[in-house]
Chains A and B, each alone.
Chain A
Amino acid sequence: MRTSNQNDSDPDQDVVFEVRDLEVTFGTNRGESRVVRNVDFDIYRNETLGMVGESGSGKSMTSSALMNAVVSPGETSGEVTYYPPGGGEPISVLDLDEEELRKFRWGEVAMVFQGAMSSFNPVKKVRGHFKETLEDHNRDVEAGLERAHQILGDLYLDPDRVLDSYPYELSGGMKQRALVALALILEPEVLVMDEPTAALDLLMQRSIVSLLKDLKEEYDLTIIFITHDLPLLTKLADRLVVMYAFDIVEVGSTEELLYDAAHPYTRSLLNATPDLNAPIEEMQSISGSKPDPVTNIPGCSYRPRCPMADESCAEAEPPMADRGNGHRTACFYHDDVADEIPIPAMEAAEEGGEGE
């Protein structure tokens, strides 16, 4: 079990979320399903944090826990502490009562998630969605709607047309952007985006991503971006969090993780990423299958699929090892990983770069 003192916040950074010992469990017929296990991490103010990992690795559950919004009958435990801007009293999100939580949601943390297509009430105009959000958070509706006009304009939408439309009258990309605007209406500190581009075509994905960069600057946002699309994240994220088997296996700046990944899973993931510049033979899938949330793998959870695993990996869970610059990885052999699992594409790119 990792000790939390190894994960104490970096004193130089302004932390907005501090997550400690986060656990999410579901009772199932086959036993307790632990879909988030003992997760510790920090989110810094005004950064873009990318979360990657395969389907079912706990990314969405972890981000839902930030708003204490794990769907029932899921149980969330641990500590999620939110630090409001301007040095206000820290808020323990999991201890909020229903009314406080209602105010906290969307006011401080807003979320745009996978199903943007169906995130709007089909029988209500888009304007109604903005209005009710403002009303239920006791904000000035007039001023809020004016703001909505401005945000929609920033997102290259025609504000009046969109506001006067029913959701079914908008295209997927328009709905997605309208939802982003709706997320920003209460001026939240943190915006969680859970695969916001999954249902969109490539062009729309890229345009939304570039819009996000502008929005982040304009509205002083902290963005948490969850996706499977690693190349997309490298263009967008300041830091990356890699999740495997319901826990974080590696954290670090995007640069660090791309060029000096020190966990076998991260490196294999990079190898499995399709890249137009790399020949298809160099693309390697990760053998084995993903772990079951009901079974508990003793020791390192990646052990069954890891080419470097030995007896010591089975005996104890590897602690988060600090590699400096906020780069931490959960592997006993983090110093040897780079030699054991090369990333041909990356090396080729580096060599090419040196040659020029």
Chain B
Amino acid sequence: MTPKYLLKRLGQAILTFLVTMTVSFLLYQAMPGGPTEAMRSVILSQSGGSVDIDRLNRMIQLYTNVNPDQPMHVQYFNYASDVILRQDLGTSFFKNEKVTTLIMQRIPWSMFISVYALALGYSLSIFLGVMTAYREKSRFDSTVSSLIIGLNSIPYYIVGVVLIYFLAIQNNYFPTGGRIGSGIAAGYNPEFMLSLVKHAALPAISMGALATSGALAMRGNAIRVLGEDYIRVAQLRGLRETRIATQYLGHNSILPMYTQFMIGIAGVFSSAVIVEEVFAYPGMGLLMFEAVKTQDYPLLMGTLIVFTAISLTAIFIADLTYTLIDPRISVGEE
């Protein structure tokens, strides 16, 4: 890997980030009842129309990082420099707190269920894909394949609602929402940990169901790899079955899916918006959802920017690490 390649990829990621930020900024500004309008009307209605216009503009700038008096490009420039140079995403209208503070509070929770969901979904995808390929055309294969097709045809939030109904309301195995049981002290004690896992389980399962869509692609890859000569030679060489299944079949079948898996991280984060609402799980997604409901523009922009940054980072890491899992990919040699 050459530094030139690294810089090129980093440059592309940053460019994508800037474009996303610009487009979202413009779209929000162009919306009827855009952020400054909304802010203005909120303040005016609260103060009963007795605020002078200069003070109003200053307040708006304080909250949104945008001065409504300035022309659009100056507004954009100010906003962007705040975001990039000072990591300042403005202040939430309704929560009256720095957007960055709010997001930082929520991110660990979202990370928790997303990582949980990804680990669950991807390991299940890989495992089921390889198993169905090994037993291609068997009853096991057709059952699992149809189940996965079925699961992927049902939207994940419906899966979530069904899970709540059966496992939380009917049977009480899991809580219906929230992220921690009431009255449990935070700390490294088993009670707290168990409560943490129980609350995260259902959202993670319903998001993980989304990630199992990889199983069918994995199955196809594994069937192709099973026909390769090196698998037969490995069997003739008397290698252990577990080694053949993991280092030969598993590894080679994952190769075409690696990038897709990394991009899937973004997909799982975006699904968090709805899943967290369904399970009343106070993470980033719920924060974004609330921001939409309350027209809290700074918060909405902030969460969007953070989601973008996470997705771009995941794809960037995928690019850089691809050569580690497939030595034939030589990055940077053109």
Contact of B243 among A69, A132, A166, A168 (CB under 8 A): A132
B247 part of interface (Cβ distance < 8 Å): yes
Residues of B within 8 A of A113 (CB): 229, 233
Task: Name the interface size band of chain A.
Answer: 20 to 34
| A-contacting 9-mer, from B56-64, B159-167, B323-331 | B323-331
A133 part of interface (Cβ distance < 8 Å): yes
Q: Which of A114-156 contact B (CB under 8 A)?
A: 115, 117-125, 132-133, 136-137
Q: Which of B214-231 contact A (CB under 8 A)?
A: 228-230
A281 to B315: give the CA distance in the assembly, Å. Answer: 66
Residues of A within 8 A of B238 (CB): 101-107, 133, 136-137
A71 to B235: give the CA distance in the assembly, Å. Answer: 11
Q: Which of A223-279 contact B (CB under 8 A)?
A: none
Shortest Cβ distance from residue B198 to the other chain A in the assembled complex, whole angstroms: 39
A71 to chain B: closest residue by CB: B232
Residues of B within 8 A of A121 (CB): 230, 234, 247-248, 251-252
A67 to B238: give the CA distance in the assembly, Å. Answer: 10
Once A and B bind, how many residue pairs between them come within 8 Å at the CB atom?
70
Residues of B within 8 A of A105 (CB): 235-238
B4 part of interface (Cβ distance < 8 Å): no
Q: Which of A71-104 contact B (CB under 8 A)?
A: 71, 101-104
Residues of A within 8 A of B233 (CB): 111, 113, 119-120
Shortest Cβ distance from residue A293 to the other chain B in the assembled complex, whole angstroms: 21
Whether B247 and A124, one on each chain, are in contact in the complex, defined by CB atoms closer than 8 angstroms, is yes
B186 part of interface (Cβ distance < 8 Å): no
Whether A118 and B236, one on each chain, are in contact in the complex, defined by CB atoms closer than 8 angstroms, is no
B85 part of interface (Cβ distance < 8 Å): no
Shortest Cβ distance from residue B135 to the other chain A in the assembled complex, whole angstroms: 11
Contact of A69 among B230, B236, B239, B251 (CB under 8 A): B236
Whether A166 and B239, one on each chain, are in contact in the complex, defined by CB atoms closer than 8 angstroms, is no
Shortest Cβ distance from residue B326 to the other chain A in the assembled complex, whole angstroms: 6
CB-CB contacts of A46-76 with B at 8 A, as 1s and 0s?
0000000000000000000001010100000
Given contacts A71-B232, A118-B230, contact A123 B325 (CB under 8 A): yes
Shortest Cβ distance from residue B248 to the other chain A in the assembled complex, whole angstroms: 6
Whether B229 and A118, one on each chain, are in contact in the complex, defined by CB atoms closer than 8 angstroms, is yes
Given contacts A121-B248, A122-B230, contact A136 B239 (CB under 8 A): yes
A125 to chain B: closest residue by CB: B327
B73 part of interface (Cβ distance < 8 Å): no
B86 part of interface (Cβ distance < 8 Å): no
Whether A120 and B236, one on each chain, are in contact in the complex, defined by CB atoms closer than 8 angstroms, is no
Residues of B within 8 A of A122 (CB): 230, 252, 327-328
B154 part of interface (Cβ distance < 8 Å): no
Whether A106 and B236, one on each chain, are in contact in the complex, defined by CB atoms closer than 8 angstroms, is yes
Shortest Cβ distance from residue B139 to the other chain A in the assembled complex, whole angstroms: 16
B27 part of interface (Cβ distance < 8 Å): no
Central interface residue in B233, B235, B240, by most chain A CB within 10 Å: B233
A115 to chain B: closest residue by CB: B229
B255 part of interface (Cβ distance < 8 Å): yes
Whether B236 and A123, one on each chain, are in contact in the complex, defined by CB atoms closer than 8 angstroms, is no
A71 to B227: give the CA distance in the assembly, Å. Answer: 11
A121 to B328: give the CA distance in the assembly, Å. Answer: 12
A192 to chain B: closest residue by CB: B236
Given contacts A119-B229, A136-B243, contact A166 B236 (CB under 8 A): no
Whether B228 and A118, one on each chain, are in contact in the complex, defined by CB atoms closer than 8 angstroms, is yes
A129 to chain B: closest residue by CB: B237
Whether B230 and A102, one on each chain, are in contact in the complex, defined by CB atoms closer than 8 angstroms, is no
Given contacts A67-B236, A106-B236, contact A123 B243 (CB under 8 A): no
Contact of B240 among A101, A115, A120, A136 (CB under 8 A): A136
Shortest Cβ distance from residue A77 to the other chain B in the assembled complex, whole angstroms: 20
Given contacts A102-B238, A106-B236, A136-B239, contact A123 B229 (CB under 8 A): no
A133 to B237: give the CA distance in the assembly, Å. Answer: 7
A122 to B240: give the CA distance in the assembly, Å. Answer: 18
A164 to B229: give the CA distance in the assembly, Å. Answer: 22
Residues of B within 8 A of A120 (CB): 230, 233
Whether B235 and A132, one on each chain, are in contact in the complex, defined by CB atoms closer than 8 angstroms, is no
Residues of B within 8 A of A118 (CB): 228-230
Shortest Cβ distance from residue A63 to the other chain B in the assembled complex, whole angstroms: 11
B325 to chain A: closest residue by CB: A123
Whether B240 and A102, one on each chain, are in contact in the complex, defined by CB atoms closer than 8 angstroms, is yes
Shortest Cβ distance from residue A82 to the other chain B in the assembled complex, whole angstroms: 14
Given contacts A115-B229, A119-B229, A123-B255, contact A132 B239 (CB under 8 A): yes
A67 to B237: give the CA distance in the assembly, Å. Answer: 10
Whether A119 and B235, one on each chain, are in contact in the complex, defined by CB atoms closer than 8 angstroms, is no
B228 to chain A: closest residue by CB: A118
A128 to chain B: closest residue by CB: B247
Whether B327 and A123, one on each chain, are in contact in the complex, defined by CB atoms closer than 8 angstroms, is yes
Residues of B within 8 A of A102 (CB): 238-240
A168 to B237: give the CA distance in the assembly, Å. Answer: 20
Q: Which of B222-279 contact A (CB under 8 A)?
A: 228-230, 232-240, 243, 247-248, 251-252, 255
Residues of B within 8 A of A67 (CB): 236
Residues of B within 8 A of A103 (CB): 238
B232 to chain A: closest residue by CB: A71
Central interface residue in A105, A117, A122, by most chain B CB within 10 Å: A122
Residues of B within 8 A of A136 (CB): 237-240, 243
Shortest Cβ distance from residue A188 to the other chain B in the assembled complex, whole angstroms: 11
A118 to chain B: closest residue by CB: B229
Residues of A within 8 A of B234 (CB): 121
CB-CB contacts of B132-168 with A at 8 A, as 1s and 0s?
0000000000000000000000000000000000000
B328 to chain A: closest residue by CB: A168
Whether B239 and A133, one on each chain, are in contact in the complex, defined by CB atoms closer than 8 angstroms, is yes
The 10 lowest CB-CB distance pairs between A and B, nearest first, are A115-B229, A105-B238, A118-B229, A119-B233, A102-B238, A106-B238, A106-B237, A166-B327, A136-B239, A121-B230
**5 interchain pairs, CB-CB under 8 A:** A102-B239, A119-B229, A123-B251, A132-B243, A182-B237
Residues of B bordering A, CB below 8 Å: 228-230, 232-240, 243, 247-248, 251-252, 255, 325-328
Not counting A105-B238, A111-B233, A118-B229, a sample of 14 additional A-B residue pairs whose C-beta atoms are within 8 angstroms of each other reads: A67-B236, A103-B238, A105-B237, A111-B236, A118-B228, A120-B230, A121-B230, A121-B248, A122-B252, A123-B328, A124-B247, A136-B239, A136-B240, A168-B328
